[in-house]
Amino acid sequence: MALKTIYRKTMNQIFCRALSEFFLPLQILMKRIQSITVDSTAAATHLCTLGSNYKTDKSPYNDAGHRHPYTAVYSLFLSRFRFQPVRFVEIGIAGGNSILLWRTYFTHKDTHIFGFDRDKNFIQNTLNYGLPGVSVGEMDVYEEESIRKGFEATGGDLDVILDDSSHGLVDQIRIIKQAIPFLKPGGLIIIEDIFRDTPEERYEEGLADVLDQFSMAMFVVTEHERRYSPGWNNDKLLFLVKK
What pLDDT digit, counting tens, does each position of 141-174 carry?
999 999 999 999 999 999 999 999 999 999 999 9
Q: What's the rounded Cα separation, in Å, for the pair 194 and 196? A: 6
Long-range CB contacts (within 8 A, 24+) of 101-104: 101/47, 101/50, 101/51, 101/54, 101/56, 101/58, 103/131, 103/132, 103/133, 103/134, 104/50, 104/54
Residue 70 has pLDDT above 90, yes or no: yes
Residue 96 sits at φ, ψ, to 5 deg, of 100, 0
Domain spans in the chain, listed from the N-terminal domain onward: 1-30, 31-242
Positive or negative, the Cα torsion across 145, 147, 148, 149? positive
Percent of the chain with pLDDT over 90: 86
Nearest residue to 98 (alpha-carbon basis) of 72, 129, 121, 77: 129
- What pLDDT is attached to residue 178? 98
**Band of residue 64 on the pLDDT scale cut at 50, 70, 90:** confident
For the stretch 176-188, pLDDT in tens is 999 999 999 999 9
Residue 76 has pLDDT above 70, yes or no: yes
Residue 215 sits at φ, ψ, to 5 deg, of -85, -20
Q: What is the mean pLDDT of the chain?
A: 91
**Band of residue 231 on the pLDDT scale cut at 50, 70, 90:** very high
CATH topology of domain 31-242: Rossmann fold (3.40.50)
Q: What's the rounded Cα separation, in Å, for the pair 16 and 78? A: 45
Residue 102 has pLDDT above 60, yes or no: yes
The arithmetic mean of pLDDT across residues 64-90, rounded, is 97
Higher pLDDT, 22 or 67: 67
State how beta strands 236-242 and 214-223 pair: antiparallel
